[in-house]
RNA sequence: AUGCGAAUAGCUCAAUUGGUAGAGCGAUAAAAUGAUAAUUUAUUGGUCGGAGGUUCGAUUCCUCCUUUGCGAACCA
């Protein structure tokens, strides 16, 4: 008895089914690193068209989270696909290294700069800390399989970079966009310093809320807006405030332009009847708050009609203030009239800017009023309340008074309530030299993906105030300017001085500025000028990477692509745009792509306190980086990106499908040498040509989807291809031929040729996404090839099946529909216990004339396509009554169990089993394959 | 006063100019045991976030609402 099983060509490969990515990926990574693969790729792509994706720098603090992973992986996918398409696509990663969070962490360790630690040492420690953070994050990015020049990233704290930041400031100054101005900032009166947003925390505070009358000065004009006659009754606009100490700085009263306002007559205080202005919507609540029961609404008008009316300041008799319009005025609380002190509120400041009202600067750094402030000079804002109330009482201006508990900003260090205080700051002006208009114009020529990105950034630009770029911090690039001690004007030779400073910073880092001896640089002028000691907003640092990285690296601006999370419309996209326009008058990018944020299974944002974060490090250690990469690719990143254990599990399932498909392709290429065994298309079995044609079509689609950054479509298509066209049809059909045909016969070589083409293509399709797996696969594909899949280009040996071909795509689509119908009937027969495996079955197909002519083309090979032992194609007219209907038009059929014996070797049930005397358990086909020339196939 | 988005089967995604929704995965059942912690087959999943409106007809257009993300604001 011969061991026929040994005569089969069963699948065999060293490519393991079990991915074991957590262990295998680091090994692959080591190979990449020791081969210096990224450098090899760059060397190989010299002279090709460049594609520049400019990296937005993550902040150098903390471990990377899943959002970082998404961003870097998307960038990596794009760049790897561009390289497959023949572009030179370098990737220079960067980090944002200055700023407050780093300062705070260092402060926690070694104490405050200037008091416990000298500034210079503090900055050195910050530098050290940032570098450590960079190193940690870098390791994880590399582990994710992201290719780039990790040895030479750009760091905003590199000396050269710091110098370029200063140069950028110089160019912006030169172009007339830098102005000095005031801005209200959070101010800690105890700490005596400005605070950044991050240093603010909200606590409950009990404030005194008061209602204050502002008498109307020009009564006739005011009343004209109402056409009301109130005789000689007192007339005032009433404001409500919780910060009485800001009243000395009051310079206006704001109404809402759209709200209706009414004149209300009632008997209020000791002075008897009076008339006040209130927002109509608030009359009831205000009157009840005042405890007034009888009142009369006299007339109504729109807020807009009162603009410009003059009012009397409640206790400065010499000061009149005007009614202004403020968007921030609402009917949520108060009276509908808001007192405006541009010194002490952002909204107030904006109103002030709009109406040309300057700040007064009454409150000093320590919280006391300056000598300029009448009546309250020398008092402290924390203790002035009683004096203010007394002044109001005295002038009969206090209408109501109460306590109010509310959430209020406090200094996170001293836990004391903060005030807003206008202080001198440096701004990049949106108006001074037409920056805003130029930005808005430039936005139109940028391609925003998705399109709504344009709306978004335009909306933000529309509301963007002058950009305050100065900070009173330690770990930041200095605003390296000299200003005149008296006039505060910039030194006339600022441009030259900036370049000199930049040269020194390039050499010694930013400390060069702080150590700089002005005399050495300014000569005789030294006494007249002082160094600015402010530092730059870190958004300025990262904003000028187009200069410090691209220009510096000899790369043309604009870059082809910026790609960041949607929050960067506010951040980096905007800071980069503004600085680039201010420097060179054009946008820094040709297109801007955004991705959403990662949320949990309920669509909620991830946060440590809720405990719903997904750690990329943990996923890499369990499922592997390729699973994260596949999840990123599979998710439509234009919206929120949902991740959960279930989703990752499903992703890992899909991964296995793709991997196993690849494995099966390889396993059937055992013994195939493309150099000698490949068949030309003309000699290939029709079905094999179809399989290659399908791949060719799919490849075109995939390339299109890579070009338009629609990776989730690629994932769907590749997965469906593996599961449907290949697993569910082609591979299932050719299994018989692969296993039972003669190893080097035409029938098998034809299929192997197809499999070889497909796996060559597949490895490239998945390479940008499943980088580790693609590389692993690459090493197992027969034939000579580049050392790495990442040194290859798209596979161009796939031949599309021409529609002129007799057995074209439409033809096989019909056959496939028939196969599906047959499968259904086989399943019925299986349920009925008629057959088990499909090879036990014989089917009779009763066809319409058209269908019959289609199926007849396959001749005897139709049974291989249907994976049954026998198929009879008969005229539909001859169908017996019991023939089953199918979903296919013109097809009825019958399934029967075969009466023939089963061939021991190929498992088909045929009449000729046992007809050969030496092989009494084999069919004729197998005999030919075992000891003859091997069968020849035409169609399947 | 808030600006820009998102919401389709348990999961990931589709749905061409408005014609009562499609894939794959999963789940369930079965087959085979020559892709075997794999494969094949069949079956099962949806008031297309909710309510109105326009229309002969709406997942698709309009309005409002709900939930949710990013940004802004957090308060006079």
Distance from residue A640's CA to nucleotide B18's C1', rounded to whole Å: 28
Q: What angle do CA A500, A502, A503 make, to 5 degrees?
A: 65
Distance of CA A795 to the CA centre of its chain: 31
Residue A430: how many other CB atoms lie within 10 Å = 20
Mean pLDDT of A213-235: 77
Sign of CA dihedral A733, A734, A739, A742: positive
**What tokens appear for A406 in the block?**
């509310």
Q: No. of H helices and E strands in chain A? A: 31, 30
- pLDDT of A893 higher than 80: yes
**Residue A261 belongs to what H/E stretch?**
strand A260-267
Provide DSSP, A710-730.
-HHHHHHHHHHIIIIIIIIII
d(CA A65, CA A597): 11
d(CA A127, CA A114): 17
Distance from residue A830's CA to nucleotide B27's C1', rounded to whole Å: 22
Q: Is the CB of A382 under 7 A from strand B?
A: no
**What tokens appear for A444 in the block?**
């139109």
DSSP A206: E
d(CA A467, CA A200): 20
d(CA A577, CA A446): 11
- pLDDT of A191 higher than 70: no
DSSP A806: T
**What tokens appear for A234 in the block?**
């007192």
**Residue A28 belongs to what H/E stretch?**
helix A21-34
Question: Quick one: pLDDT at residue A347?
Answer: 75
CB A97 within 8 A of CB A134: yes
Question: Quick one: pLDDT at residue A422?
Answer: 76
Helix (H, G, I), strand (E, B) or coil at A845: strand
**What tokens appear for A677 in the block?**
């065994």
CB A535 within 8 A of CB A473: yes
Distance from residue A452's CA to nucleotide B61's C1', rounded to whole Å: 19
CA dihedral A658, A660, A662, A663 (to 10 degrees): 160
- pLDDT of A285 higher than 80: no
B strand bases under 7 Å from protein CB: 1, 3-7, 10-14, 23-26, 30-43, 67-76
**What tokens appear for A188 in the block?**
């800690």
- pLDDT of A146 higher than 80: yes
pLDDT above 90: percentage of residues in chain A: 65
d(CA A657, CA A677): 28
- pLDDT of A555 higher than 60: yes
CB A848 within 8 A of CB A889: yes
Terminal Cα-to-Cα distance of chain A (whole angstroms): 31
pLDDT in tens, A319-366: 888 888 776 666 667 777 788 888 877 777 777 777 777 777 787 777
> Is-cis flag, bond preceding A844, omega within 30?
no
Sign of CA dihedral A704, A709, A712, A715: positive
Checking each nucleotide's C1' against the CA of A710, the nearest proves to be B13
Burial label for A486, CB within 10 Å (0-12, 13-18, 19+), is exposed
- pLDDT of A163 higher than 90: yes
Mean pLDDT of A269-297: 76
**What tokens appear for A272 in the block?**
């008897």
β A641-642/A598-599 pair status: parallel
Query: Residue A911: how many CA atoms within 13 Å on its side-chain side?
Result: 2
Minimum mean pLDDT among A446-450, A466-470, A667-671, A716-720: which range?
A: A466-470
Question: Quick one: pLDDT at residue A489?
Answer: 85
More confident residue, A255 or A916: A916
- pLDDT of A745 higher than 80: yes
DSSP A89: -
Helix (H, G, I), strand (E, B) or coil at A169: helix
pLDDT in tens, A10-40: 999 999 999 999 999 999 999 999 999 999 9
d(CA A334, CA A354): 23
Distance of CA A530 to the CA centre of its chain: 43
Phi, psi of A532 (to 5 degrees): -75, 135
- pLDDT of A596 higher than 80: yes
Distance from residue A621's CA to nucleotide B27's C1', rounded to whole Å: 29
Helix orientation angle between A572-584 and A159-174, rounded to the nearest 10 degrees: 60
Mean pLDDT of A626-645: 96
Provide DSSP, A545-560.
HIIIIIITTTPPSSEE
Checking each nucleotide's C1' against the CA of A329, the nearest proves to be B76
Q: Is the CB of A664 under 7 A from strand B?
A: yes
Provide DSSP, A633-663.
HHS-TTS-EE--HHHHHHHHHHHHHHHHHHH
Q: Is the CB of A715 under 7 A from strand B?
A: yes
d(CA A681, CA A185): 74
Mean pLDDT of A213-219: 82
pLDDT in tens, A458-505: 988 988 878 888 887 889 999 999 988 877 789 999 999 999 999 999
pLDDT in tens, A849-862: 999 999 999 999 99
> Is-cis flag, bond preceding A404, omega within 30?
no
SS (H, E, C) A380-428: ECCCCHHHHHHHHHHCCCEEEEEEEEEEEEEECCCCCECEEEEEEEEEE
Q: Is the CB of A10 under 7 A from strand B?
A: yes
Q: Is the CB of A604 under 7 A from strand B?
A: yes
Mean pLDDT computed over every residue of chain A = 90
pLDDT in tens, A170-181: 999 999 999 887
Distance from residue A862's CA to nucleotide B37's C1', rounded to whole Å: 34
**Residue A743 belongs to what H/E stretch?**
none
d(CA A105, CA A120): 16
pLDDT in tens, A777-826: 999 999 999 999 999 999 999 999 998 999 999 999 999 999 999 999 99
- pLDDT of A289 higher than 70: yes
Q: Is the CB of A833 under 7 A from strand B?
A: no
d(CA A214, CA A230): 17
Distance from residue A78's CA to nucleotide B41's C1', rounded to whole Å: 38
**What tokens appear for A136 in the block?**
């940690």
Distance from residue A436's CA to nucleotide B52's C1', rounded to whole Å: 42
Question: Quick one: pLDDT at residue A732?
Answer: 97
- Within 8 A by CB and 6+ apart from A795, the residues are A699, A757, A760, A761, A764
Protein residue at shortest CA distance from C1' of B11: A647
DSSP A58: P
Q: Is the CB of A16 under 7 A from strand B?
A: no
Question: Quick one: pLDDT at residue A414?
Answer: 65
Residue A477: how many other CB atoms lie within 10 Å = 28
Distance from residue A655's CA to nucleotide B22's C1', rounded to whole Å: 23
Minimum mean pLDDT among A208-222, A256-270, A415-429, A892-906: which range?
A: A256-270
- pLDDT of A1 higher than 60: no
Rounded to two decimals, the pTM is 0.87
pLDDT in tens, A371-392: 777 777 788 877 777 888 887 7
Backbone torsion region of residue A120, taken as left when φ is above 0, otherwise alpha when ψ lies between -120 and 50, otherwise beta: alpha
- pLDDT of A654 higher than 70: yes
Mean pLDDT of A756-776: 98
Sign of CA dihedral A501, A507, A509, A515: negative
CB A895 within 8 A of CB A826: yes
CB A196 within 8 A of CB A101: no
Mean pLDDT of A284-294: 76
Distance from residue A719's CA to nucleotide B44's C1', rounded to whole Å: 22
Question: Quick one: pLDDT at residue A202?
Answer: 67
Checking each nucleotide's C1' against the CA of A13, the nearest proves to be B35
Q: Is the CB of A375 under 7 A from strand B?
A: no
Q: How confident is the model at residue A865 (pLDDT cuts 50, 70, 90)?
A: very high
Residue with tokens 């990776």: A711
- pLDDT of A198 higher than 60: no
Question: Quick one: pLDDT at residue A197?
Answer: 59
Mean pLDDT of A648-676: 97
Mean pLDDT of A688-701: 97
Q: Is the CB of A566 under 7 A from strand B?
A: yes
β A559-565/A53-54 pair status: parallel
Question: Quick one: pLDDT at residue A256?
Answer: 75
pLDDT above 70: percentage of residues in chain A: 96
CB A149 within 8 A of CB A116: no
**The sheet that has A559-565: what strands, in order across it?**
A53-54, A559-565, A589-595, A447-449
- pLDDT of A449 higher than 60: yes
Q: Is the CB of A440 under 7 A from strand B?
A: no
Helix (H, G, I), strand (E, B) or coil at A18: coil
């Amino acid at each position: 008895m011969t061991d026929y099983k040994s005569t089969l060509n069963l699948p065999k490969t060293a490519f393991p089914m079990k991915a074991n990515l957590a262990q295998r990926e680091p090994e692959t990574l080591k190979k990449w690193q020791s081969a210096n693969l990224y450098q090899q790729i760059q060397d190989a792509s010299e002279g090709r068209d460049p594609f520049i994706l400019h990296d937005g720098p993550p902040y150098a603090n903390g471990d990377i989270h899943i959002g970082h992973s998404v961003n870097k992986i998307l960038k990596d996918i794009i760049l790897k696909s561009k390289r497959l398409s023949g572009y030179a696509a370098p990737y220079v990663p960067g980090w944002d290294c200055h700023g407050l969070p780093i300062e705070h962490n260092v402060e926690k360790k070694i104490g405050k700069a200037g008091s416990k630690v000298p500034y210079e040492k503090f900055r050195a420690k910050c530098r050290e800390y940032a570098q450590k953070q960079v190193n940690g994050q870098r390791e994880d990015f590399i582990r994710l399989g992201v290719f780039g020049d990790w040895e030479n990233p750009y760091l905003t704290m590199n000396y050269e970079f710091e110098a370029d930041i200063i140069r950028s400031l110089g160019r912006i100054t030169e172009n007339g966009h830098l102005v000095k101005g005031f801005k209200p900032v959070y101010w800690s009166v105890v700490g005596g310093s400005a605070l950044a947003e991050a240093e603010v925390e909200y606590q409950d505070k009990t404030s005194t809320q008061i209602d204050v009358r502002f008498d109307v000065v020009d009564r006739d004009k005011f009343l004209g807006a109402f056409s009301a006659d109130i005789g000689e009754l007192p007339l005032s606009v009433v404001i409500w405030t919780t910060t009485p100490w800001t009243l000395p700085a009051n310079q206006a009263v704001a109404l809402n332009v759209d709200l209706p306002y009414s004149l209300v007559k009632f008997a209020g205080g000791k002075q008897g009847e009076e008339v006040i202005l209130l927002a109509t919507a608030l009359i009831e609540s205000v009157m009840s708050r005042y405890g007034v029961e009888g009142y009369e609404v006299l007339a109504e008008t729109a807020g807009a009609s009162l603009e410009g009316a003059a009012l009397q300041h409640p206790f400065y008799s010499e000061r009149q203030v005007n009614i202004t319009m403020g968007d921030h005025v609402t009917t949520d609380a108060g009276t509908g009239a808001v007192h405006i002190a541009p010194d002490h509120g952002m909204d107030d400041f904006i109103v002030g800017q709009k109406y040309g009202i300057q700040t007064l600067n009454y409150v000093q750094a320590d919280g006391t009023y300056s000598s300029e402030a009448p009546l309250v000079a020398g008092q402290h804002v924390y203790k002035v309340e009683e004096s203010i109330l007394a002044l109001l009482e005295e002038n009969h201006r206090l209408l109501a008074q109460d306590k109010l508990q509310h959430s209020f900003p406090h200094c996170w260090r001293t836990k004391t309530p903060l005030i807003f205080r206008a202080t001198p700051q440096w701004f990049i002006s949106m108006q001074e030299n037409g920056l805003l208009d130029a930005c808005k114009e430039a936005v139109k020529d940028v391609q925003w993906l998705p399109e709504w990105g344009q709306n978004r950034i335009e909306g933000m630009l529309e509301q963007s105030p002058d950009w305050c770029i100065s900070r009173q911090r330690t770990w930041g690039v200095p605003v390296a300017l000299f200003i005149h001690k008296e006039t505060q004007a910039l030194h006339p030779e600022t441009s030259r001085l900036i370049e000199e400073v930049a040269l020194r910073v390039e050499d010694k880092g930013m400390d060069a500025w702080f150590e700089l001896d002005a005399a050495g640089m300014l000569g005789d002028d030294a006494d007249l000028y002082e160094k600015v000691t402010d530092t730059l907003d870190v958004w300025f640092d990262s904003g000028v990477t187009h200069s410090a990285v691209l220009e510096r690296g000899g790369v043309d601006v604009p870059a082809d692509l910026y790609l960041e999370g949607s929050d960067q419309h506010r951040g980096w996209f905007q800071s980069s745009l503004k600085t680039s326009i201010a420097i060179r008058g054009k946008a820094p990018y040709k297109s801007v792509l955004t991705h959403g944020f990662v949320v949990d299974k309920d669509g909620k944002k991830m946060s440590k306190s809720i405990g719903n974060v997904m750690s990329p490090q943990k996923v890499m250690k369990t499922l592997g980086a390729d699973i994260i990469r596949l999840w990123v690719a599979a998710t439509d990143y234009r919206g929120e990106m949902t991740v959960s254990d279930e989703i990752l599990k499903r992703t890992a399932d899909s991964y296995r499908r793709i991997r196993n498909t690849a494995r099966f392709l390889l396993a059937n290429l055992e013994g195939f040498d493309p150099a000698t065994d490949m068949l030309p298309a003309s000699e290939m079995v029709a079905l094999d040509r179809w399989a290659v044609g399908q791949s060719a079509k799919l490849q075109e689609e995939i390339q299109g989807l890579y070009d338009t950054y629609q990776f989730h479509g690629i994932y769907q298509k590749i997965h469906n291809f593996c599961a449907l066209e290949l697993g569910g049809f082609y591979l299932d059909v050719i299994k018989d031929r692969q296993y039972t045909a003669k190893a080097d016969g035409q029938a098998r070589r034809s299929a192997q040729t197809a499999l070889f083409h497909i796996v060559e293509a597949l490895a490239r399709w998945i390479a940008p996404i499943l980088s580790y797996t693609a590389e692993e696969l690459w090493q197992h594909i027969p034939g000579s090839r580049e050392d790495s899949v990442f040194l290859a280009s798209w596979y161009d040996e796939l031949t599309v099946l021409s529609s002129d071909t007799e057995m074209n795509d439409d033809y096989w689509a019909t056959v496939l529909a028939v196969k599906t119908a047959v499968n259904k009937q086989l399943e019925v027969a299986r349920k009925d216990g008629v057959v088990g495996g499909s090879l036990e079955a014989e089917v009779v197909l009763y066809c319409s004339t058209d269908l019959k002519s289609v199926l007849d083309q396959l001749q005897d090979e139709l049974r291989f396509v249907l994976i049954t032992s026998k198929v009879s194609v008969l005229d539909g007219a001859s169908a017996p009554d019991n023939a089953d209907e199918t979903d296919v038009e013109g097809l009825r059929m019958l399934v029967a169990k075969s009466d023939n014996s089963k061939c021991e070797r190929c498992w088909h049930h045929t009449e000729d089993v046992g007809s050969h005397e030496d092989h009494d358990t084999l069919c004729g086909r197998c005999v030919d394959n075992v000891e003859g020339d091997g069968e020849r196939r035409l169609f399947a």
